[in-house]
Structure 1
């Protein structure tokens, strides 16, 4: 009986701990965190860099990290603990000195002028954090580790899954030093000083790796065939970012064994030549591909078209900033799963052909801005029923927006959230049918040759957040300042000298004041009760108080007027009193008689 009772008590204690979590802070981990803070404080940037820091960051960092036994380290800033065990599991030391992330610091990284700030981190300080799952050391100017016992220290972090070293100054040797962190699932080494070939042999030890970011370095070569074979060990890698390096087309061939890839980014490299579909066709599980801002050009052959059909899971394709012609668009009809296509800033000329595009019915994002398409808006748009974002801005589309054709081409796009037709040569009037695009949040028709009035029905677009018809030839009244249109300022209507009404400074006068059928039902609404009640009563109260204060001030200064006012008030009081008293007596006598 006694043993059974003890057993139940132990189980109850375990359940209680799980329900309430661990409230304490392990002393070993608390002291380890304080040593890490001291290490960063000693490594404060030199005087030149320090001048660009905010005053609060020049001396004191991590203010909540204090050496006080009453202070719980799990409640410190940038520290996350497991709610059950109380061990530190996540530590974020990102940008510890709070540099301007878009200013000075990136300038130094890009120009290699940060050498005066480089410092080396003692990695042994993290040994006490044995349950650490995630560590973020990005944006701190770290150039490497202090070599003493690096291997032993990293070996203790055997549960670390995510390591972010973004925006430091690590060189190629950093990957070799991390080889003992075999539990890593995510590794970010973007914006560092990695040079040379892709370090495939060094990376192959991270067999559990799922996310790898090596973008914005100085990598520019491919590995040997033997080195590429070592990538076979990275069977779980799903996301790989090699953007903004100096890779050439051969890099794709080096990656061919990474069959598990779902996201691949090779933006801002030197791939050159035609669309590398033959090399890419081996990535049959690929869902997102970014080849933007390379030197790609040309159209696809019949064989390319067959290879393209192998990418049956590809949903997002970014080909911006290349030199493709309009033929590429017709070829992409083979991508049946495609939901996002970006081709802006290429060199497409001629009309946008209708044939070959109907198969892209699953498209959600279509970006064809900044090309040289001309002719009328393509009718195949009516088939893109899943489209949510459409950008055709910066082309040479001409012709009108006819009332009968636009509903056919655009009015059926009920899921559209963003529509950009700016910087074309479109003429005619804005169709009333645009009011049927009930889900649209952004509508840009600026920099065209549109004329006529802005349909007042557009105020029915209740989700609209961005609206611009600037620099056209529109005339008449602007839409009523109701619903979402009450949030748009004059910049939405700039460059239309014949428009009038709020929010423009130009008032509508003369014949323009006559109510249109749309507004006739609203004319009777412009009465006193349309006045803003809050504004009215506020102004009335302020005016009344000012009047009373004025009267009191005058009576206080002028003694003669003050005596006259008192006498007048007294006479009025007695007069009212006797009038009421006499009337009551007469009434009383009348009732008794």
Structure 2
């Protein structure tokens, strides 16, 4: 009897170790498919000298001692997926997001019938999304975002009755969204953004109102959206930007925290139901055709709102004057509308404000000196309004030390240039701002796990004049620095202290009434890329110190009273005669007037008057999206 029990135990023990050997073999096969392991996570740790259950990223069940989970996320691994991974018959959790895996997914993965959590996001997988994903009857989460998948969304995904989260954004998926997808009654998170989908979201999406309820919906750059979405009362985050929404703005569901319908063709007024959204944190309605007035409740809601963007619409009337004490706003964009009146002083309650953009309206006010109390302000845009009066005479009690962008252009400001601003712009001085990381300025809301991120760019609709061009930003890097005081009535000399703003990229003082010489201290602006001092009354010679500006691409000194020789060499060999027109006493290349004689000499060489192309540095600082920027975008939906 004892011998029989011993034999039985031996069979069980042998089967157990045989099974774990299968798991070990599957991992060793995967390891052999890894071509790059920069941190030696697998190279040194996955060794047959230790139990597979102790290997990095591996979790075994206590009952069967089989591998139940594999997490290799964010390890910078490169390679393909081994077909033997399908032998891990107890595997329920597989997470390899944010690596550089590539190739197609092997069909042998269909053997993983216990699978509940599958995250292949942020890699380089290609091919069609496998229809056999529909075999994973226990699957709760499927994440394939930020890859190179093509083809259509398989209708078999509708078989995943337990699916709670589906992320397919940032791929090259085409075709229509299958109706079957909305049979997944437990679906709470759906992201299909940034693909090539066509048609509209099936009206069956309204079924979620009867079930547990969709909470997160991310469909920007996607497709046409039915307004039945407004009936999804469980929605907390709604992102429908850059679609083809027409008609009136959707009614916001009552639990919304994130309401983003930017860049559509919506009309009508902001619905009064917005005032009932007690949990709303982000409202982005910019770049539509909305009209009417801005609801006064927006001011009262600022104790919870962190970002409001109503720019590029047709709003009229005045800005709400009742921004609450304890205001939580970090970004307020109401640019490019038809707003009138003054800038409400109650905005001074928004102590954490990073960006204020009221440009291109009809605001009529003196300079809001109380802005000096906003010590977190980084971007201030007052351009193209009717602001007037002097600035330097205001007593700024708290310095705007974090200010990086100030655009007061196209107003009626007068008096001397605001020296106090320049003295306290510490963020543009190298000793203060040198170590600033080049992050995008945006309001970001991560979900509860690593599945996805919603964001609203603070820079939406923001534009500046740089390098002779009107540049519109879609995203704004934190290292972009601009001073634009052009097209006003400033007088007096250019302050020498400007030369201490060593991290400044764009300086535009054109179309004013400035006199005196160009300060030689401007030659210390080692990062400067664009300098426009045109259409003033500047006198004297062009300082040779400006030759130190190694990144300078655009120089405009035209329409002044400058005289003497133009500096030669370095960047000055790249500027065309348009940089100096209207200064009759200037001489030297590229002008035909020869210094020291009245004879006209040919230029050294001819150049296209359109100037240089924008260099790589300028393109990166603009934060514009391109394929080469994909690495900067990785992590949006991690």
The answer as to 2:429 corresponding to 1:395 is: no
- Counterpart of 1:263 in structure 2 is 282
- The alignment partner of 1:333 has SS state of helix
Q: Deviations over 1:469-513 (max 9, x none)?
A: 234343412442554x1222464434457352231564398799x
Q: Deviations over 1:546-566 (max 9, x none)?
A: xxxxxxxxxxxxxxxxxxxxx
- Counterpart of 2:57 in structure 1 is 18
Q: Which has the higher strand share?
A: 2
Mapped contact 2:245–2:266 kept (Cα < 8 A): yes
The farther-off stretch of 465-474 and 121-130 is: 121-130
- The alignment partner of 1:393 has SS state of coil
- Counterpart of 2:313 in structure 1 is 294
- Counterpart of 2:229 in structure 1 is 199
Distance verdict in 2 for CA 1:392–1:476, change over 3 Å: same
Distance verdict in 2 for CA 1:319–1:379, change over 3 Å: farther
Q: Which has the higher helix share?
A: 1
Mapped contact 1:281–1:310 kept (Cα < 8 A): no
The answer as to 2:387 corresponding to 1:373 is: yes
Q: Deviations over 1:353-402 (max 9, x none)?
A: 4565444444221100111223333544844423221101122323444x
Mapped contact 2:302–2:323 kept (Cα < 8 A): no
Write the distance in 2 (CA, Å) between the matches of 1:68 and 1:273. Answer: 56
Write the distance in 1 (CA, Å) between the matches of 2:222 and 2:81. Answer: 38
- Counterpart of 1:554 in structure 2 is none
What are structure 1's unaligned runs of at least 5 residues?
30-62, 98-119, 513-593
- Counterpart of 2:615 in structure 1 is none
- Counterpart of 2:492 in structure 1 is 428
- The alignment partner of 1:341 has SS state of strand
Write the distance in 1 (CA, Å) between the matches of 2:199 and 2:395. Answer: 49
Mapped contact 1:472–1:495 kept (Cα < 8 A): yes
Mapped contact 1:414–1:439 kept (Cα < 8 A): no
Write the distance in 1 (CA, Å) between the matches of 2:249 and 2:103. Answer: 47
The answer as to 2:508 corresponding to 1:476 is: no
Write the distance in 2 (CA, Å) between the matches of 1:381 and 1:426. Answer: 18
The answer as to 2:147 corresponding to 1:90 is: no
The farther-off stretch of 132-141 and 444-453 is: 132-141
The answer as to 2:330 corresponding to 1:315 is: yes
Q: Pick from 173, 181, 194: which aligns with 2:202?
A: 173
Distance verdict in 2 for CA 1:68–1:168, change over 3 Å: closer
Mapped contact 2:190–2:216 kept (Cα < 8 A): yes
In the TM superposition, 1:402-551 aligns within 5 A as 406-416=418-428, 417-474=481-538, 475-483=540-548, 485-489=549-553, 491-496=555-560, 498=562, 500-502=566-568, 503=572, 506-507=587-588
Write the distance in 1 (CA, Å) between the matches of 2:528 and 2:336. Answer: 29
In the TM superposition, 1:200-239 aligns within 5 A as 200-201=230-231, 203-206=232-235, 209-221=236-248, 231-232=253-254, 234=255, 237-239=257-259
Write the distance in 1 (CA, Å) between the matches of 2:508 and 2:354. Answer: 22
- The alignment partner of 1:450 has SS state of strand
Q: Pick from 284, 287, 291: which aligns with 2:303?
A: 284
CA positional deviation for 1:341 = 0.8
CA positional deviation for 1:264 = 0.7
- Counterpart of 2:169 in structure 1 is 136
What are structure 2's unaligned runs of at least 5 residues?
1-5, 21-49, 59-69, 73-79, 87-101, 109-118, 130-138, 429-480, 578-586, 598-638
- Counterpart of 2:613 in structure 1 is none
Distance verdict in 2 for CA 1:170–1:214, change over 3 Å: farther
Write the distance in 2 (CA, Å) between the matches of 1:184 and 1:78. Answer: 29
CA positional deviation for 1:210 = 3.6
Write the distance in 1 (CA, Å) between the matches of 2:13 and 2:596. Answer: 95
- Counterpart of 1:344 in structure 2 is 359
Q: Deviations over 1:74-124 (max 9, x none)?
A: 7854599xxxx9x97424467959xxxxxxxxxxxxxxxxxxxxxx85432
- The alignment partner of 1:332 has SS state of helix
Distance verdict in 2 for CA 1:186–1:467, change over 3 Å: farther
CA positional deviation for 1:245 = 3.7
Mapped contact 1:358–1:380 kept (Cα < 8 A): no
Mapped contact 2:284–2:309 kept (Cα < 8 A): yes
Write the distance in 2 (CA, Å) between the matches of 1:27 and 1:150. Answer: 30
Distance verdict in 2 for CA 1:222–1:376, change over 3 Å: closer
Distance verdict in 2 for CA 1:308–1:151, change over 3 Å: closer
Question: TM (normalized to structure 1)?
Answer: 0.58
- The alignment partner of 1:324 has SS state of strand
- Counterpart of 2:155 in structure 1 is 123
Mapped contact 1:452–1:476 kept (Cα < 8 A): no
Write the distance in 2 (CA, Å) between the matches of 1:68 and 1:279. Answer: 53
Question: TM (normalized to structure 2)?
Answer: 0.55
Q: Deviations over 1:143-197 (max 9, x none)?
A: 442x4x5455x56x969663326664333535617848967645124553335x4
Q: Which structure's relative contact order is higher, taking Cα pairs within 8 Å and 6+ residues apart?
A: 2
Distance verdict in 2 for CA 1:365–1:489, change over 3 Å: closer
- The alignment partner of 2:380 has SS state of strand
Distance verdict in 2 for CA 1:143–1:27, change over 3 Å: farther
Write the distance in 1 (CA, Å) between the matches of 2:262 and 2:277. Answer: 14
Distance verdict in 2 for CA 1:181–1:333, change over 3 Å: same
Write the distance in 2 (CA, Å) between the matches of 1:191 and 1:494. Answer: 47
Write the distance in 1 (CA, Å) between the matches of 2:165 and 2:351. Answer: 43
Give the count of matched residue pairs: 425
The answer as to 2:314 corresponding to 1:248 is: no
Aligned-residue CA RMSD (Å): 4.8
Write the distance in 2 (CA, Å) between the matches of 1:21 and 1:272. Answer: 50
Distance verdict in 2 for CA 1:420–1:96, change over 3 Å: farther
Mapped contact 1:354–1:379 kept (Cα < 8 A): no
CA positional deviation for 1:16 = 2.4
The answer as to 2:219 corresponding to 1:188 is: yes
In the TM superposition, 1:22-33 aligns within 5 A as 24-25=81-82
